[in-house]
Structure 1
Amino acid sequence: MKKHLITGGGILLLCLSLFSSLGFALAPKPTYKNGTEVVKAMYKRWQGKWYPNFQFEQRAIFYENGQVTKEEVWQEIYSQPGLLHIRFDGFESGNGVIFAQDSVYRFQENQLAGKMPQIHPLVLLSFDVYFLKPEETISKLNQLNIDLNKVYETDWQGRKAIVVGANNPADSSSSQFWIDKERLYVLRVLTNSKGSTRDVEINNYQMLEDYWVATEIIFKTNGETTLREEYFNMSFPKSTDKSWFDPKNFSSTRWQ
């Protein structure tokens, strides 16, 4: 009887053939070396596929010492890039804010009560990152004091996540953001201002009209929940009137 000998090289070829036939992917998932690579990957994945306009209402539930202290219904509309108009408890209240040109304008009884420069990290990482050139997003992240040289991978609510701005899970005070590794949308944003840490969880993503949409956001300050937002009546207008985001038009603006 003739014996068939398989050399070392033959064994390797046989194994490769077997893995290929079973459909296994031999190449590992990409590992990002820094936050710059993450931002570029987010932009590449969803450029032209993310929603440029987003209209919704939300239940704003306020907490103090673990107890609900107040509930309101807010009306909001976003338009890329960086435009967000929020009405607190209805248009007739005359209270709300506008985010535009990296500034925030606050209104009380339809009068401008304050203005200050501010890059809104949630607007930047939930929406604008898919419309702005990566270099512009990176510049804004630098202004938010997020160290793009620090990155690691972990788990978050049962999914793989990429963390930018910290080196390990022990660091919960540095400004950082967490991204779903597979879907490349934001999961969590931590910012540190004068020793006070704000931790924002972007939760309960659902597929709506072929778009991924977060339906709950939880705000924590130094570990204590202060606000929970629940989104409803969500839609994606084909266009918006840019005058809605002009502070001069706050009192007369209506989009519903």
Structure 2
Amino acid sequence: MKKHLITGASLLLLCLTLFPSLGIALAPKPKYKNGSEVINAMYKRWKGKWYPNFQFEQRAIFYEKGQVSKEEVWQELYSQPGMLHIRFNGFESGNGAVFANDSVFHFKNFALAAKMPQVHPLVLLSFDVYFLKPEETIAKLNTLNFDLSNVYETDWQGRKAIVVGAQSPEDANSPQFWVDKERLYVLRVITNSKGSVRDVEMNNYQLLENNWVATEIVFKTDGETTLREEYYNMSFPKVVDKRWFDPEHFGNTRWQ
């Protein structure tokens, strides 16, 4: 009598033939084909659920050559879409910045010191992506030189991540952003300005009032840490005064 040996591959084929539904469970999840699909997924996942306003204070810890050079306390307020007001060392210092209408306004001693066009990549990918239509976010990312045709998956701090803008981990210089594969919030943003690489990590996400918040931001320039931000006194105002993001009202803006 001949003995019939069933190999592992044959057994798997037999199971799939007898129980076709197993094929669904065993098939790997489809990967995103491009960055546009990732942006659409982020928008769809959190539309109507992400917080439209975010108020907080932060310790701004500056580094030079690996050593802490100075520390400041900043007050910040975000409101969608694309509006961010920062005060350096309190409202009475008269120093800070306002991001609005894809521009940044820098203030020193309550006077406007500089103004320039700027799409803030961290604001765009951490907040605005959940409020703007995906095509608007995609258009802004294109102006920031992210190549949305390049996507791969990797691990980041123990979690699965989707990387948009690069093809492999060997590419650490191309503009790219990393997104948590499960939760679909941004983990890391890398930009490249004339060869100077800025790598920003959004770390220590916490669930506060049912809102995901990165409570530590680490900035690196060409591999060296230059700034670390630690957030505290965080809240999610239902309503904010839009005049607080008007540069004309910088001097008399107070939200505390």
* TM category, shorter: over 0.9
Alignment of 1:217-228 (within 5 A): 217-228=217-228
SS in 1 for 2:51: coil
Report the CA distance between 1:12 and its aligned residue: 3.5
Distance 1:11 1:110, change over 3 A: closer
Alignment of 1:44 with 2:44, yes or no, is: yes
In structure 1, list runs of 5 or more residues that go unmatched.
1-7
Alignment of 1:93-172 (within 5 A): 93-172=93-172
Distance 1:252 1:155, change over 3 A: same
Distance 2:138 2:14 in 1: 49
Aligned-partner residue type, residue 50 of structure 2: W
Distance 1:218 1:45 in 2: 26
Report the CA distance between 1:14 and its aligned residue: 4.8
Residue 12 of structure 1 corresponds to which residue in structure 2?
16
Deviations 1:14-41 (A, max 9, x none): 5557x59xxx934432310000000000
Residue 4 of structure 1 corresponds to which residue in structure 2?
none
Structure 1-normalised TM-score?
Answer: 0.92
Distance 1:42 1:30 in 2: 16
In structure 2, list runs of 5 or more residues that go unmatched.
1-10
Structure 2-normalised TM-score?
Answer: 0.92
Residue 7 of structure 2 corresponds to which residue in structure 1?
none
Distance 1:12 1:153, change over 3 A: closer
Identical columns (%): 76
Deviations 1:216-242 (A, max 9, x none): 000000000000000000000001100
Distance 2:46 2:175 in 1: 24
Residue 183 of structure 1 corresponds to which residue in structure 2?
183
Distance 2:28 2:63 in 1: 43
Deviations 1:158-201 (A, max 9, x none): 11100000001111111110000110000000000011000000
Report the CA distance between 1:10 and its aligned residue: 6.8
Distance 1:10 1:86 in 2: 63
Residue 3 of structure 1 corresponds to which residue in structure 2?
none
Distance 1:25 1:142, change over 3 A: same
Distance 2:63 2:197 in 1: 17
Aligned-partner residue type, residue 101 of structure 1: N
Residue 204 of structure 2 corresponds to which residue in structure 1?
204
Residue 240 of structure 2 corresponds to which residue in structure 1?
240
SS in 1 for 2:215: strand
SS in 1 for 2:169: coil
Aligned length: 246
Report the CA distance between 1:124 and its aligned residue: 0.1
Distance 1:181 1:29 in 2: 11
